[in-house]
Every structure is written in C-alpha cells, then in structure tokens.
Structure 1
Amino acid sequence: MNKLLTAALLLLLNVWSGFSENLPRPEYPRPQFERTDWINLNGTWTYQFDFGNSGKDRRLQSAEKFDQNITVPFCPESKLSGVGHTDFINQMWYQRNLSIPAGWEGKKILLHFGAVDYLSEIFIDGKFINRHFGGSSSYTVDLTRYVKPGQNHNLVVFVKDDQRSGMQTIGKQCNNFFSGGCSYTRVTGIWQTVWMEAVAPAGLKAVIARPDIDQKQLVILPEFYNESNGTLEVSLMDGQKVVANKTVKCGNGSTIVLPIKNVKLWTPETPNLYDIIYRVKDAKGNVIDEVKSYAGMRKVHTANGLFYLNNEPYFQRLVLDQGYYPDGIWTAPTDEALKQDIALGKAAGFNGARLHQKVFEERYYYWADKLGYITWGEAASWGVDVNNDLAARNFISEWSEVVVRDRNHPSLVTWTPFNETWGGGPDAYVRLITNIYHLTKAMDPTRPINDASGDNHVLTDIWSVHNYTQEKDKLMEQLTFTEGKEPYRNARDKDYLAVYEGQPYMVDEFGGIPWMDEKNRKNSWGYGGMPADAEAFYARLEGQIDALAASENVCGFCYTQLTDVEQEKNGVYYYNRQPKLDMKRIKAIFEKIPSRKH
C-alpha cells in the first residue's frame, strides 16, 4: 500500500471514528510536529476503580473489558468523562482495543499520552511494557515489538495517584474532600489526548528550532530515531513562498542554519509565523518521513532590570490563567475553548498569561503562538515536598519533560518551575532550586527563569513578588524603591535566600478583587472583600494599576485572575466564561500601562 493511500485511509478512519462516537478532541495534539499517519484514541474506553489496590492480584492487567465506560481524554472527576466521581481515586484501570493498520508494517508504532496523572503503567495483551512518573508531562511508548500490523491488541493502563503523599505534583487539586479556598476538584488518570502514529525507523524524533533574530537566521538541531545514510531536507515557508531551504546528512550532531532575509518578527501585536516542512529521505532520495511544523522569529532576554522582547523593553500585562473548566476540570471541552480563553484575555486588555499551577496542553500554546499572546510556563508544583529528596527527584524528571516538549513555542517567554514555596528550607530546597535552574538553562538557554513565583528566591532571572494590597496609596508606597534597601518582598529573614540584585521586578500576582452576582455570593471568596458596587470595583482596580504604573521599577504584572474557578470568585469573567462587568472599561484600565512603557 503506498504512502498516500495509507494516509488517506487513516484520515478516513479518524473522520469515521469522529462520526461514529462524536470523537472528543479530534484535532492533532502536537501541532509543532505533525504527521499524517496517526490515529486518535480518544472516545469510549472501559474502566474500573481499584480502591483496595488489589487489581494486579486479580490480574486486571489482562482484562479484555471492564464493566463501566469512560470518555477519554476527560478525567473521571469531570462531567464530560461520563463518570463524575469526585472523591479520592488512588488507583484505577483503563482498557480499550487497539487496531493496528496493516499499512504500518515496517514502521515504528508509537503510542502517545498527552498526560496521565500521576503514575501510569502500560500493558499490551497482559504484558507490562512501560511505566511513567509525572502527572503533567507528555510521554511516548514504542509498541513496535509488542503489536503486529493488521491485528488487534488489548491495551490496559494502570494509574496511581497519591495526592497526599507529598511526592508528586498536584497543582491546585484539593487535598480535602470538598474544594476550598484556592484549591479545586481533583484530576486523576488520563486527561489529555491519547494517540498512535507510524514513523519510519530512521524518522525524525525531535527538533530544537532556535530563532536568532540578531543574525537573521533560524537554527535547527535535529534528532533521529536512528541515524542513517539518508538526508534531512528543511524548508522554511512564508505563506506559500519558500524563503530558505537546506539539506544535510541525517545525524544527531547536525546543525542547520537557515538565513532569513527581511525577517518578520513575532510579537503579540504581530504574531508572524513561518511554516516548516521536514523531509527525511533515504539513500535513494525517497521521502520516508515528513513532519509539518512552524516557528516564530523572536528573542526574549533580561537586562538592566527590564524584560526585552526583540531587543526592546516590553511591559508584560499578564493574567493568571488556571486552565480549569466547569465540565472538563483540567481538560478543555474543545479546541475552540482553548482559543476562546486567549481571546477573552486579549479582550480584557492583557497581552499574555501566567499559566498557573498546571502544564497546559500543546494546543493552547499553538493558539497563543497563532493569536499573539505571551505565556509563562509553570509546573503544577503544589503538593511536592520541596524538602524531600525523592519528591525532588520526581519533580526534576517531570519538569525536564515539560521543558523539552514546549521549548519551541514563540509565545512562551518565561519558565516558572515553582510557586509560593514558603516552606522551602536551607538544604534540599536550595539544592533543588539550583539544580532546576541549571537544568532548565541547559535544555533552553533562550528564556529567563522565575525560580519560585512570589519570592523565596534562590537563583532567578526574574524577581517576582505577590502583593494583594488593595489600597492604591499603600500599594504605591510598597512598590517604591529606596536606595540601599531591598524592595518589597514576600520572604524575609532567611539567610539562605537570594538577595535582590537588580533583576526585572514583576508583581506576578496582585488584584484578586472579588465580584459576583447575588446568586453566586454564597461560599465564595476573593482578596480584600467585595466592592460595594461596580463603580467601586472599577475604582479599586484602577487605583492598583495606577500604583503599578507609578513605580519606575515594576516591569510587568499578573492580575488574579482570568475566570472564576469554583468557589474562588475573583476572575474578570465568570467560570462559564461570561463577562462580569463592562469589558471595554476593564480593558481600558489594564491598558493604561502600554506594552512598551519604557
């Protein structure tokens, strides 16, 4: 069967699956590394809870079907999963059949998981083949040795999720039965798309695409599944026009430099993107692997107490986005919902978002790249005992996978591995922060690192603080720098913490002003008490923005938050994404500080 016919049949299979069971989240989940030979495995799976942790004794890894159905990729706590079980789920099992296309003979057969919270074990026909730690990072299982093209196989996934252990990331998932404060409904198991694809044994495994606007070039560092005598052709496109093309021998040490004349820079105001086509060819010149991608030409760095975008100071007007949905919890119900959240942020006057205590899926970054919206990538670090060596080990491996997955996205401008690590001590914590800083720089030297949002800084490129002072004059006083004195910070009197040395100073949490209609005021909270009426809300918000604008040293902010989340009612939109107030007026207030303030 030729390649075009195989691709057509796979496309029809995906379309047919979508019509046959209204396939959820049908879009390709990895838009910066897209192939045609793939099968979406979302939809109806069978499942069983395992509250007694006895499933392996009962040989559930060999089960060909469980008694109940669940809709993947939605977690069992969510409405969209069809389950809606919101109590703690420490262990559970998933099952579905895999039909391997006959046309995949001779190829690597890869099974991809967008994310599974937290520990997952993979079984094919009852045989253990893989284990993965990390509730937020994507991973791939090579099925080639365990399945045969043209045949059906049984896939079972075992999940463990011990949220109270202190050994794993949980983000804002609540450790009590009921959601409370700023902690919300839990997430267990599969919560991002699952899919299979077929790849040539000598195909392209990954790339680093590093823009260099100073020298007007895009640098590509490829990695192959197996190095061969073939070649890699890289074509850079501006629309339908090829602006650069280069062919090199397939080697993991190759460096491909694509010069670009008249570079179109990426900014939130002008989100220009270049398409990329990677073609791996064998020794005879036949294309054995083709991958579609894109890149944005932009540069971010810090210097002189400022954040720079494309060598110009840029004021970041960020909003805290926690990525929760009433029906999907951590999983957006549709791809359009991801796009819409970015549109809502822009409509409220923000030029980006701090993606808070959750690793967002790649489709979100795709829309941020396309629409022009800067982002901060953050781990779901709450839940990790930062003073425990095993917890640190777990965090390092998960964070490393996150950085490698997302480092090519132009919209992502800052890494924030931790948030509010107030309990961090002088020994294991300091070592963990230092290790994470250097590991992140080794994997991606192109972005600044905010080591611990909200202070408790050890080694950082961004000096972030959280300040929920509601009164304009008091906030202005706190944000005024005094010669010879450290500026306002959240963590003091710890001699093992860093001293401020002139890094860009950002208030990366502030505001949090509660507002809700009468029917939503029960069991809700925000910061500073609810204003008396809408005019009082506008006045308080404008006073805080004026205080930030008055500080010559503040070079960015993050307002809490984009939407309400369950009982936390301090979003500028309700949890259902409906506006609370006059959004044109809200937008005008936030935009009182222009992106290019300095």
Structure 2
Amino acid sequence: MSVLDRLDPPSAPAGGPVPRPEYPRPQVVRDRWLNLNGSWEFEVDPGDSGLERGLRERPLTGTITVPFAPESELSGVENTDFLEAVWYRREVTIPADWAEVGDDAHVLLHFGAVDHDATVWVDGTEVVRHRGGFTPFTADLHGVAAPGETVTVVVRARDHRGIPQARGKQSGLYANKDCHYTRTTGIWQTVWMEPVPGASLRRPRITPDLGARAFDVRVPLTQNRRGHHVVVTVSDAEGVVASESTPAHLDLAPSVRVVLPAERVRPWSTKDPHLYGVEVELHDAAGDVVDAVRSYAGLRSVAIDGKAIRINGEPLFQRLVLDQGYWPESLMTAPSDAALLRDVELGLEAGFNGARLHQKVFEERYLYHADRLGYLVWGEFGDWGAGDFGRKDDHQKPTTSYVAEWLEALERDFSHPSIIGWCPLNETHQLLHDRITQLDDVTRAMFLATKLADPSRPVLDASGYSHRVLETDVWDSHHYEQDPEAFARDMAGLKDGEPWANRYDEGPISLPYRGQPYFCSEYGGIWWNPEEAAEVAGDDRSESWGYGQRVADEEEFHSRFAGLTDALLDDPLMFGYCYTQLTDVFQEQNGVYRFDRGEKLDVDRVRAVQVRPAAFEKGDD
C-alpha cells in the first residue's frame, strides 16, 4: 500500500454532487472538513457600488457554480465583459460535531484563490480581506461563528482595470488577443471550512536533506502551551521509518529533524518518484493528541555545480514544456482533478520530464500529481499586468503587493518535491538605466524574498529579457527563431561565455552574464493549426496566432521541432530547455495538443526527438 492511499479524507460531504469535491490541500490533511463548492447567490456590481447599495445585507439576484469564475462556461454565468466587482452569498451550517476538537474550537474558512481583491463578511462581520488573485487566504471565525451554527457568508471580489495588478495571461483588452486570454474574476478555487483547536498546527515546512538522510520539519504553531510537544513520524509502504519529537512551548515554530535508517533511504527522482508519508501531531502534557495533520515528502536534492544544475547529484537534463493551465470550459480552474492529472500525463507522453508553470500559481493539487509522477516543476508567479507590455522605456512598475503575494505562494508550495526552481518574474521589458527603477527594486525584493524563504532551490530573477539581479542563480533567454540553423548559431555563444541574451536595439536590458547555469526557457512555439484553410498562410493572424512563420503541414512541424530541439540537446553546457507549449490556448495555436487536450499531431515523434541522451548528461562539464 502506498503512503498516499490514506492521505485524502472523503472527497465531499453527503447531500448531492459537489464540483471539484477532492480535498484541496494535499500536504496538510485533516479528516474534518466541509466543501463549500456548488451553488452560491451571485451578482455583478458594474460600478463597484454594491456596499453603498446594500448588497452585503440583501439576497443577490443570480446564482453561480463555485469554484468556476463567472467568465467561464462551467460557472453558469459566462459573462466575459470587464467585471469591476462581483458579489457572492451563501448560508452555511457548520457541523455540530466539530465541537469535538475541543472547548476552544476555531472554525477556519479557507479560499483557494479569489481574483483580485477580496473582502469577506460572516453574519455582517468582516472576517478577512486579501489582495492577490493567485494565492490562498483564511478567515478564523472564532468569536463570529461556532460549530452547530448556521451563518451567512458574503464575498465581494474587485477586479479593477487600469492599475498595476498581477494578472498573468488575462487579457487587458475586451477580447482575447495574441497570447492573452479570457479574464478570471472572483472565486476560482475551492472554498472550504475546517475546525481546529485554539492551540493548533499551521502548515509544516518540510526540507529534505539527502546527504544526511533526513527531513527537517519546521512546524509553525498558533500558540505555545506548557507541556505540549510536537511529534513527527515518517513512514513508507512497509510502515514507520523514524519518529522524533520536540517541546512545543519554547518556539513558535519548533523544528524536528527526522533521520532515516540507511536501509530505508529511497530518493525521489523522475524515474522513481518515491514519497514518504509524514504525520505531524501536537500532544498535550498527558500525551493526548490535540491536533494532527497528514502530509508527505520526497527525499531529493537540488545543487549548482558550475553551469550544471544537479538533481540528487546527477546532471539531469531538464526537458520542460510551458504549461499555461487554461481549459476552454473553465479557464484557469481545472474542470476536474482528473484534468490536472491529465496535463502531467500528456507532458510525460510527449517526452517532457517537467514543466514551467507559466504566468500562474497553479492549483496545489497539480503539484500533488507532479510529486506522484516525478514531473519536474519550475514555480512561477503570474506577474504580467504591471504596465504596458512591450514598451522599452521606464514603464513596468510592479508594486509591493507582488512581493506579498509571491511570499504566500512560496509558503504554500515550499514542501513539494517536484518543484526544483523558482521564477518570480517573467519577461520584464525595460532598458537598463543609470538610475535604479521601481522594476529594479521589486525584482531584487522578489529575488531576496525567495532566497530567504527557500535557500534550498535555485532562483531565476526574471525569465527571459531583463536580468537585473547580478547574483541570480540561473540565467536564461527566450528565443523564438524558427530557422533551426539560425537558432543553433544564436545559441552557440554559451561556450564562449556569451550566451544568447534578449535585448533591444537601443541597448541592453540585462546586467552582464556571470557564468551561471543557463537554459533557453522559451523556444519553439511552432505555429500549426491543421484545420485552418489552405489559403490562410504566412503571417496572417486573423484566425489564429503563433510565433514567426507558420509551418505548411505536420511534416514541417516535426522537422522544425527536431532541428530546434537538437541544437539545445547537443550543447554540453545547456542544462535544459522549455518548449512553448503543451496545448493550444484559445487563439494561440502552437501547442503539442489541442486546447481540449485532444490529439493534434504525432506525439510519438515529438517524444522520439527528446528521449535521446543530452550532451549535458554525458559529461561533468
């Protein structure tokens, strides 16, 4: 039996079908929980005047299916206009047996993600406000609601245009255009409740130490009480591997090191994605369990050696694919948990061993599936929206909210073994100036915040274009040259210490390269739509969009894909690449698969190009 077989509690409570019924937080699992997805009252507030008009107090005029955004088909609303503000309302009966967690039971109301600014009231009392459309937040309802009570939850979500806001790939225009897609407003991930005692466990931070055969588990607590202690138990399919405890009253985040016996060590890798079960318990002075969560962890390492990034000490070439995480019927929300799993499987079937999760903080259950299948992941923030894309002057001005939201993403995803690198920003476009700009400040702040939050993984300051942190761990470029010979010539400068760098004719946009590990983190994007009429050719983008000159037929696609990819596989100093992209997305027709995940071309041929050993994997240079 796998340790994951007993990880998830029942998917949804009795009483009818619930959309997205699975437990939403796979690394911090408690048995008691209540899924609040399903039908909510809903109303669009076009002038953001709802508070003045009494929408907080009265029933709303429509309905919506949560957790799907109102722009999506599955929401039942399907309004793709600009939605300046939207309101949600629902009555919730809190299970009476939740009082069994203790006399001081706290009911927690969790939101997986709400785009973009959210305020939540319960029975008329404001319980939480949050800015940022990609990360979770929680309201502690202690003193407002208790087990056995029926309460009214009201949510207002604002999504104003015209201000800097981390939008990712959401279109700033009325319609979709180029590589910008239909907007997402309001609730777009699972809403749920759970009970905890007053002294309880927060999300554990699990750091693997492969060299020491150990897991370091940091356990943040809500309170320190004398006599309490934390117990961490690591298990595998054969049973308990090791267990350690530490007093819980001395440190607000006590740390436990669990060393594994040599004979039970099994590293996590792409070929053997072995996961250990991790149980964390909070005991009182009598030894009784006050609170407990179930989790899991992979024992693996990530290291930098010259220009090499090594996984478990080995030079594994990273064959990544760009994944946008959109679906035609549900936009940024996966229509089902199976759809999240399927995207990982599709990448593996095409010969990729990982993905760059692009311009979006993905649902945590995607990472759960990547952990289980041994799929490498670069975590990224959806930072686009800080200015007019494509201008060369001093235009991009991300705000402090970018740093705050990115820290929330790091906290949520820290313990997932599939994540082997972080990328806070993407394609920041700004010429280097003789002064420090707001973009410089925020780029450095996000880099330093990432290193402080997680010193165990490499950090890429900004993917492609403006590398503005001299000591960034990794360097990269985006290059959509479609001629394989020209592409190979451009990429050849790495051996001379002068790799391809994105720049403008007016001057450089990055600080000098200093010998870091280097990869081409966006290439290809081969424009191919088999259904387009033969007369639609060349650079005509009236029906679809892609990079450079579209191919005439599938045979030309495979020839071009092989030529571009071979140029990177044959470079002994290149540690990986990221091909654009896994699927078509709306008008962007450059995926290996269709938008609906159907077959588009011969995937076996795509896989055959990639599975041969890369030059990087053959030596230690």
TM-score under structure 1 normalisation? 0.94
> Aligned runs of 1:454-533 on 2, under 5 Å?
454-459=464-469, 460-481=472-493, 486-491=498-503, 497-519=510-532, 523-533=543-553
The Cα offsets for residues 276-319 of structure 1, whole Å up to 9 and x where unpaired, read as 11121111111121100000001112221111101111210000
Percent identity between matched residues is 41
Is the Cα–Cα contact under 8 Å of residues 303 and 503 in structure 1 kept in the other structure? no
Shift of 1:255: 2.1
How far apart, CA to CA, are the structure 2 residues paired with 1:13 and 1:532? Answer: 47
Mean Cα displacement is larger for which, 312-321 or 454-463? 454-463
Q: Is structure 2 residue 444 aligned with structure 1 residue 444?
A: no
Task: Name the structure 2 match of 1:151.
Answer: 149
Structure 1 residues without counterparts, runs of 5 or longer: 1-9
> Aligned runs of 1:332-411 on 2, under 5 Å?
332-385=334-387, 391-411=398-418
> Which residue of 199, 214, 221 maps to 2:211?
214
> Which residue of 80, 87, 92 maps to 1:86?
80
Shift of 1:261: 2.2
Distance change (3 Å), C-alpha of 1:388 and 1:568? closer
Is the Cα–Cα contact under 8 Å of residues 455 and 463 in structure 1 kept in the other structure? no
Letter in 1 for 2:217: I
How far apart, CA to CA, are the structure 2 residues paired with 1:95 and 1:218? Answer: 43
> Which residue of 303, 306, 313 maps to 1:304?
306
Mean Cα displacement is larger for which, 563-572 or 391-400? 391-400
The Cα offsets for residues 4-44 of structure 1, whole Å up to 9 and x where unpaired, read as xxxxxx97893313xx2x20011110000000111001000
How far apart, CA to CA, are the structure 2 residues paired with 1:593 and 1:566? Answer: 34
Q: Supply the RMSD in Å over aligned alpha carbons.
A: 2.0
Distance change (3 Å), C-alpha of 1:507 and 1:60? same
> Which residue of 220, 225, 232 maps to 2:222?
225
Is the Cα–Cα contact under 8 Å of residues 565 and 575 in structure 1 kept in the other structure? yes
Distance change (3 Å), C-alpha of 1:187 and 1:253? closer
Task: Name the structure 1 match of 2:127.
Answer: 129
Distance change (3 Å), C-alpha of 1:201 and 1:538? same
How far apart, CA to CA, are the structure 2 residues paired with 1:535 and 1:308? Answer: 35
Number of matched residues?
584
Q: Is structure 2 residue 608 aligned with structure 1 residue 588?
A: yes
Q: Is structure 2 residue 153 aligned with structure 1 residue 185?
A: no
Task: Name the structure 1 match of 2:13.
Answer: 15
Letter in 2 for 1:306: A
Letter in 1 for 2:152: N
Task: Name the structure 2 match of 1:295.
Answer: 297
Distance change (3 Å), C-alpha of 1:515 and 1:582? same
How far apart, CA to CA, are the structure 2 residues paired with 1:242 and 1:122? Answer: 42
Task: Name the structure 2 match of 1:252.
Answer: 252
Mean Cα displacement is larger for which, 248-257 or 113-122? 248-257
Mean Cα displacement is larger for which, 527-536 or 501-510? 527-536
Task: Name the structure 1 match of 2:442.
Answer: 432
Task: Name the structure 2 match of 1:537.
Answer: 557
Is the Cα–Cα contact under 8 Å of residues 163 and 383 in structure 1 kept in the other structure? no
Q: Is structure 2 residue 94 aligned with structure 1 residue 74?
A: no
How far apart, CA to CA, are the structure 2 residues paired with 1:434 and 1:406? Answer: 21
How far apart, CA to CA, are the structure 2 residues paired with 1:255 and 1:16? Answer: 38
Q: Is structure 2 residue 38 aligned with structure 1 residue 43?
A: yes
The Cα offsets for residues 121-154 of structure 1, whole Å up to 9 and x where unpaired, read as 0111122222101110111111112113211111
Letter in 1 for 2:596: N
Task: Name the structure 1 match of 2:330.
Answer: 328
The Cα offsets for residues 462-504 of structure 1, whole Å up to 9 and x where unpaired, read as 1110011111211111111277663210026657832101111
The Cα offsets for residues 324-352 of structure 1, whole Å up to 9 and x where unpaired, read as 00111000000000000000000000000
Task: Name the structure 1 match of 2:3.
Answer: none
Task: Name the structure 2 match of 1:7.
Answer: none
Mean Cα displacement is larger for which, 418-427 or 140-149? 418-427
Is the Cα–Cα contact under 8 Å of residues 12 and 22 in structure 2 kept in the other structure? no
Structure 2 residues without counterparts, runs of 5 or longer: 1-7, 389-393, 537-541
Distance change (3 Å), C-alpha of 1:11 and 1:353? closer
Task: Name the structure 1 match of 2:241.
Answer: 243
How far apart, CA to CA, are the structure 1 residues paired with 2:578 and 2:331? Answer: 23
How far apart, CA to CA, are the structure 1 residues paired with 2:382 and 2:10? Answer: 37
Distance change (3 Å), C-alpha of 1:458 and 1:260? same
Is the Cα–Cα contact under 8 Å of residues 490 and 500 in structure 2 kept in the other structure? yes
Shift of 1:388: 8.3
> Which residue of 398, 412, 422 maps to 2:429?
422
Task: Name the structure 1 match of 2:105.
Answer: 107
Task: Name the structure 2 match of 1:413.
Answer: 420
How far apart, CA to CA, are the structure 2 residues paired with 1:149 and 1:253? Answer: 28
Task: Name the structure 2 match of 1:276.
Answer: 278
Shift of 1:414: 0.9
Is the Cα–Cα contact under 8 Å of residues 62 and 125 in structure 1 kept in the other structure? no
Task: Name the structure 2 match of 1:5.
Answer: none
Q: Is structure 2 residue 198 aligned with structure 1 residue 201?
A: yes
How far apart, CA to CA, are the structure 2 residues paired with 1:214 and 1:267? Answer: 15
Letter in 2 for 1:172: K
Q: Secondary structure at the match of 1:589?
A: helix
Letter in 1 for 2:244: K
Q: Secondary structure at the match of 1:62?
A: coil
